[in-house]
């Protein structure tokens, strides 16, 4: 059994690749002896086939090829695998033993040994079919997620895949190969304490709890487990961070700076006049810009919420910016990378530790409209992509009207005391 890139490179340097006329997939030679290799759960396992003969090696390989992952792992860890691959049946074993001359050997003992290995193998297979650990759940969850994305043609950000991996890493480190069916609520509480002891912040811990619940709910739906014993584990208290607005001085600095990369100033201006989230902006294409009844608008078709799918009239101050912006260029990087790069550009002008981010443009947008139109909250919510009656707005007065023309009135009222032609 081996792992690690360096070890693999060392091994591969000794591989005999001159056996083209045979099906030598998963077979290689080291010092004239044939080996079988198999990747299981992201690890490469190496098994000596105990022969220098290619024909014998190919026959022994067949045995391993017939085994599933669990059978092979058990054979490596607990079984006497020599008797698994050397003889496919007891008849073959007996035939071999009968052919041996001048050697004293206990045939019955050897047969018993063979039967014991196979019996244990079958027992373990039955056991595996009824149990699951986080190593196995990770493989099943990721495979299922990839199948879903293939069917729906959706994409998941690289950062999300990384979060899946990191959470499973914590779960595997803490619970190891323990059957998930026997992990109770108290043990999950201890797991939460384990994350606290790692000195992770509460937001990160809560996110890991959320993802773990998602994995376990998946396992429950697929009937890998009977119950999700983590669903009642409470998240840790997180102090709400008040997002400050950009001051007028900060806004002037942002839009007077001329050494941005990635057309950052254009992005800032569009976010300010639309109230879009950065990921919503990133997903825009030419087909998202439309006209209805003489009104130019953006159709947001990709958002983190259902309410986020909406129509936003285009303010006259950003029509040219949107018309000339090269969306194809930013789509050469993934959404997460683009967001990080644009945020970095913002922090070239404002102080990083002031709780102000790209989302602050959305905050300034909202502040402008809500001060000018305090009686049109439902309409305002629709422009922002909030659910109606959202508590986050902390306002009690509700207005009516949801057509594009009414929304245009609110958008056109936006005025920022900034010279965008610096």
Model pLDDT for residues 364-404, shown as the tens digit of each residue: 998 888 888 877 777 778 888 765 544 333 333 333 346 88
Provide the pLDDT for residue 113.
65
At CA 359, angle to CA 353 and CA 365, rounded to 5?
Answer: 120
pLDDT at 406 over 90: no
What's the pTM value of the predicted model, to 2 decimals? 0.48
Residues 83, 113: contact at Cβ < 8 Å? yes
Give how far the C-alpha of residue 62 lies from the chain's centroid of Cα atoms, to the nearest Å: 35
The three-state secondary structure class of 44 is strand
Average pLDDT over the chain, rounded to an integer: 78
| 281 or 374, higher pLDDT | 281
Determine the Cα–Cα distance for residues 168 and 191; give it in Å rounded to an integer.
Answer: 12
Lowest model confidence (mean pLDDT) among 60-64, 166-170, 219-223: 60-64
Buried/exposed code over 334-372 (b: 16+ C-beta within 10 A; e: otherwise): ebeebbeebeebbeebbeeeeebbbebbbbbbbebbbee
Name the DSSP letter for residue 40: E
Model pLDDT for residues 259-278, shown as the tens digit of each residue: 998 899 999 999 999 999 99
Q: Which long-range contacts (CB under 8 A, 24 or more apart) does 310-314 make?
A: 310/382, 310/383, 310/385, 311/404, 311/407, 312/274, 312/275, 312/276, 312/383, 312/407, 312/411, 313/404, 313/407, 313/408, 313/411, 313/412, 314/274, 314/289, 314/411
Name the DSSP letter for residue 79: S
| 384 or 90, higher pLDDT | 384
* % of the chain with per-residue pLDDT over 90: 36
Determine the Cα–Cα distance for residues 194 and 134; give it in Å rounded to an integer.
Answer: 17
Lowest model confidence (mean pLDDT) among 107-111, 190-194, 272-276, 298-302: 107-111
Name the DSSP letter for residue 393: G
Mean pLDDT of 246-254: 91
Most confidently modeled range among 7-21, 53-67, 127-141: 127-141
Tokens representing residue 41 in the block: 């759960």
The alpha-carbon radius of gyration of the chain (Å, integer) is 31
Confidence of residue 105 (pLDDT cuts 50, 70, 90): low
pLDDT at 17 over 60: no
* % of the chain with per-residue pLDDT over 70: 73
């Amino acid at each position: 059994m081996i792992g690690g890139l360096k070890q693999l490179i060392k091994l591969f340097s000794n591989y005999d690749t001159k056996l083209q006329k045979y099906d030598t997939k998963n077979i290689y030679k080291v010092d004239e002896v044939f080996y079988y290799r198999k990747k299981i759960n992201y690890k490469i396992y190496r098994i000596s086939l105990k022969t220098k003969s290619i024909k014998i090696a190919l026959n022994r390989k067949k045995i391993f090829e017939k085994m599933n992952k669990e059978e092979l792992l058990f054979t490596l860890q607990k079984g006497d695998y020599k008797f698994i691959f050397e003889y496919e049946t007891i008849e073959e074993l007996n035939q071999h033993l009968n052919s041996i001359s001048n050697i004293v050997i206990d045939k019955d003992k050897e047969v018993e040994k063979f039967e014991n290995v196979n019996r244990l193998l079958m027992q373990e297979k039955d056991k595996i079919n009824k149990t699951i650990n986080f190593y196995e759940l990770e493989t099943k969850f990721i495979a299922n997620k990839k199948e879903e994305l293939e069917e729906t043609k959706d994409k998941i950000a690289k950062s999300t895949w990384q979060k899946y991996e990191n959470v499973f890493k914590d779960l595997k480190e803490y619970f190891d190969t323990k059957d998930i069916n026997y992990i109770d609520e108290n043990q999950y509480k201890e797991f939460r304490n384990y994350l606290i002891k790692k000195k992770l912040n509460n937001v990160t811990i809560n996110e890991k709890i959320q993802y773990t619940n998602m994995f376990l709910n998946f396992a429950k739906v697929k009937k890998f487990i009977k119950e999700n014993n983590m669903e009642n584990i409470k998240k840790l208290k997180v102090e709400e961070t008040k997002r400050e607005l950009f001051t007028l001085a900060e806004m002037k600095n942002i839009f007077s700076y001329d050494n941005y990369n990635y057309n950052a100033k254009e992005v800032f201006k569009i976010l300010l006049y639309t109230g879009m989230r950065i990921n919503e902006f990133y997903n825009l294409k030419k087909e998202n810009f439309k006209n209805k009844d003489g009104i130019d608008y953006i159709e947001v078709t990709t958002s983190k919420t259902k309410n986020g799918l909406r129509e936003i009239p285009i303010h006259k101050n950003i029509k040219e910016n949107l018309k000339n912006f090269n969306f194809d260029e930013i789509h050469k990087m993934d959404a997460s990378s683009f967001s990080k790069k644009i945020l970095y550009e913002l922090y070239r002008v404002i102080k990083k530790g002031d709780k102000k981010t790209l989302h602050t443009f959305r905050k300034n947008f909202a502040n402008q409209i809500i001060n000018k139109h305090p009686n049109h909250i439902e309409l305002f919510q629709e422009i922002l992509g909030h659910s109606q009656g959202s508590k986050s707005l902390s306002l009690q007065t509700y207005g009516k009207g949801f057509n594009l023309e009414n929304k245009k009135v609110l958008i056109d009222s936006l005025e920022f005391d900034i010279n965008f032609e610096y």
